Amino acid sequence: MGKIRILDKEFEKNIPFERIQEVIETMASKIHEDYKNSRPLFLCVLNGAFMFAADLFKHYPGHCEISFIKLSSYAGTQTTGEVKTLIGLDKEIEGRDVIILEDIVDTGITISHLANDLSACKPESVRIATLLLKPESLRKEIRLDYVGMEIPNDFIVGYGLDYNGFGRNFRDIYKITE
Ligand code: IMP
Ligand code: MG
């Protein structure tokens, strides 16, 4: 399936599922190298990161835990600049090595907001792992510890990412055509 339509927009296939899996396997090994003597707590940022988190978790060869937080900042194809916490933390993170799992860092507003909130909970450490990064639209100075792929500043869907709620179920990543 090379082209798809979601609501009023057309998309074309951009990153195949197999490539996404390779990137995630490599990232899982790198993280494990760094956390061999720890039992990290992965923190998946819902909704977008659920597929990435599931695949990274499956590939992670060491002891680890996972928890979820739900944030929202996007409306349509644009960030609103305002981050809302829809479901908060349910795990004690004090003293834990936390690794935030994000689907994509665009302006960086969501991730820097979350990293700030987390530091108030006194974790032992916080690192960020993102499957995708749009370097051209990054507006925050933030250290991204693990980046799967850098992509141009195009709106994308699939593999957990949505356009107004739709398109998350596609296994490949598609970019908007206009
Ligand atoms: P940021 O706060 O601008 O960095 O945006 C991050 C959040 O916006 C991500 O967690 C995604 O959920 C969403 N997002 C950013 N870019 C895209 C995109 O191209 N497609 C779908 N969602 C996106
Ligand atoms: Mg997200």
Q: Report how far residue 96's alpha carbon sits from residue 103's, in angstroms, rounded to the nearest whole number.
A: 22
Please tell me whether the peptide bond between 164 and the residue prior to it is cis, using omega within 30 degrees of 0: no
Catalytic residue among 97, 106, 162, 172: 106
Instruction: Give the C-alpha separation, 9 to 26, whole Å.
Output: 33
21, 76, 168 from 29: Cα distances, Å: 12, 34, 26
User: Count of domains in the chain?
Assistant: 1
Instruction: Specify the 3-state DSSP secondary structure of 26.
Output: helix
Q: Note down the domain range covering 153.
A: 39-176
Decide whether any atom of ligand 1 lies within 6 Å of the 104 Cβ: yes
Residues sharing a CB contact under 8 Å with residue 18, sequence separation 6 or more, in sequence order: none
Q: Please list the residues that pair with 174 across neighbouring strands.
A: 13, 157
**Is residue 74 situated within a structural domain?**
yes
Q: What is the pLDDT along the chain (178 residues), one digit of tens a residue?
A: 799 999 999 999 999 999 999 999 999 999 999 999 999 999 999 999 999 999 999 999 999 999 999 887 766 777 777 777 766 776 688 999 999 999 999 999 999 989 988 888 899 999 999 999 999 999 989 999 999 999 999 999 999 999 999 999 999 999 999 7
Q: Whose CA is nearest to atom 9 of ligand 1?
A: 104
**Please, how many CA atoms are within 13 Å of residue 134, restricted to the half-sphere of its CB?**
17
Secondary structure of residue 119 in the 3-state scheme: helix
* Contacts for 34 with CB less than 8 Å, ≥ 6 apart: none
Which ligand 1 atom is at minimum distance from the Cα of 161?
21
CATH of the domain at 146: 3.40.50.2020
19 is a domain residue: no
124 in any annotated domain: yes
Kindly state whether residue 33 falls inside one of the protein's structural domains: no
